[in-house]
Amino acid sequence: MTNTYTAIIQPDGDWWIGWIEEIPGVNCQEASRDQLLESLKITLSEALELNKQEAIAATRGNYQEEKIVV
């Protein structure tokens, strides 16, 4: 399943900074625009996986997963 997220990016002096609009806490700083976009992609993937693991760990073992389309 492919999801699309929005990266907000901008130059800041000698650096590029950016964050993912839809997911708090996913932000990066890199020397180039391309490096920033790759770093945001990796960081977003890691954050989503960690959130998934934490959500499952918070269950009492007997749970169901349901897809929700917004």
3-state secondary structure (DSSP) of residue 52? helix
Proportion of the chain above pLDDT 70, given as a percent? 99
Q: Is 44 helix (H, G, I), strand (E, B) or coil?
A: helix
Model pLDDT, residue 1: 64
For the full predicted model, state whether its pTM sits above 0.75.
yes
- What's the structural domain count of the chain? 1
> Does some domain include residue 67?
no
Residue 48 maps to a domain: yes
| Structural domain includes residue 14 | yes
Mean pLDDT value across the chain:
96
**Residue 17: other Cβ atoms inside 10 A:** 15
In a domain, 27, yes or no: yes
Contact at 8 Å (CB) between 21 and 13? Answer: no
Give the residue numbers spanning the domain of 35: 7-57
- For the stretch 28-48, pLDDT in tens is 999 999 999 999 999 999 999
